[in-house]
Amino acid sequence: MSEKRKMNHHALAILMVVVDAFGFAMMTFFVRQSGDLPTMQKVFFRNAVAAVIAAATLIRQPGSFKISKDGWFGIAMRCIFGTSGMVLNFWAIDHIALADANILNKMSPFFAIIMSIFILKEIPNRFEVVMVAVAFLGAILIIQPSAGLASIPAVVGLLGGFGAGAAYTFVRKLGMIGVKGNVIVFCFSFFSVVVTLPNLIFNFVPMSTAQWVSLILSGCSAAVGQFCVTKAYQLAPAKEISVFDYTQVIFAGILGFSFFGEIPNAMSMAGYCIVITAAIIKWYYNVHVQNN
């Protein structure tokens, strides 16, 4: 691959991560808007909508559903780790403070880098590790988790972050062997729907029109996030783009202020500055320093 094409792929991957972050921030917003419903019911609709959208893209491209013999293992791992991570994260949200659950789930970029070492043999250098750590510290300032992280639900939340990070690593591996993004998204969404369907059948809670709309929109937002994050990790290594995923907390802060009157305090504002600064420095390093 030429140097110019590599840089274009890197820039597009960054854009995809930012759009993915916005999509998942909107998903969180609509899930909150849906009100008091069982967690598994929210998980089901979040994936059902994404599965329908992914299926539609496959139907419009006859013959696009192709997975090589080597790709099935990666698909299975992406489905298992991704679904497990999502269910664990949603369960943690129901049992610990939302801030605690979010900061634990934001460990996923770290786990993606760690898993990339073993699965993809991609070794991050010291500078890249430091930049991701700095961004993580900024996220802590924004989310401001409370005490009591050593509880069993917190451990479950941390495992959810591991599941997400491992899933993203397998997404990149699948992209490297030519598996298309819409195929990956469909397999993951369909698998998640099948896994959560039994619980929905036996524990379904009737919903109002507003709740239906909110959950459908949460699924659409999640689909945008899934397609974009899948594309991003196919285009570039996790160590080069994962830091930009922290823009999700910035989008969430804007949505919280605009719709719920949540005004960020001084620590949150400091966190925003740290995350943005780390992202800019890391981008500059990757584009202008490391490639020279």
User: What tens-digit pLDDT sequence spans the chain (292 residues)?
Assistant: 566 677 778 788 889 999 998 998 898 888 878 888 888 898 898 889 888 988 888 888 777 788 888 899 999 999 999 999 988 887 777 676 656 676 777 778 778 888 888 888 888 888 878 888 888 887 777 766 665 555 677 778 888 989 999 998 998 899 888 888 888 889 999 999 999 999 899 989 999 999 999 999 988 998 898 889 888 878 887 667 877 888 887 888 888 888 877 677 787 788 878 888 887 887 777 666 765 5
Between CA 101 and CA 164 the distance in angstroms is 13
Q: Token match 């496959």: residue?
A: 58
Q: Please, what's the b/e burial string for 50-66 (b: 16 or more CB within 10 A of its CB; e: otherwise)?
A: bbbbbbebbeeeeeeee
Between CA 266 and CA 272 the distance in angstroms is 10
Q: Is 140 exposed, middle or buried (0-12, 13-18, 19+ CB in 10 A)?
A: middle
Between CA 39 and CA 140 the distance in angstroms is 25
Q: Token match 């719920």: residue?
A: 260
At residue 122, what are phi and psi to the nearest 5 degrees? -95, 115
Q: Token match 């993915």: residue?
A: 20
> Beta-carbon neighbour count of residue 171 at 10 Å?
30
Tokens representing 77 are 């791992």
pLDDT for residue 68: 82
pLDDT for residue 226: 81
Q: Where are the domains of the chain?
A: 3-123+154-245
pLDDT for residue 76: 95
Between CA 190 and CA 79 the distance in angstroms is 9
What contacts 165, CB < 8 A, 6 or more positions away? 85, 107, 108, 109, 110, 111, 112, 113, 114, 115
Alpha helices in 120-180 (DSSP H): 126-143, 152-176
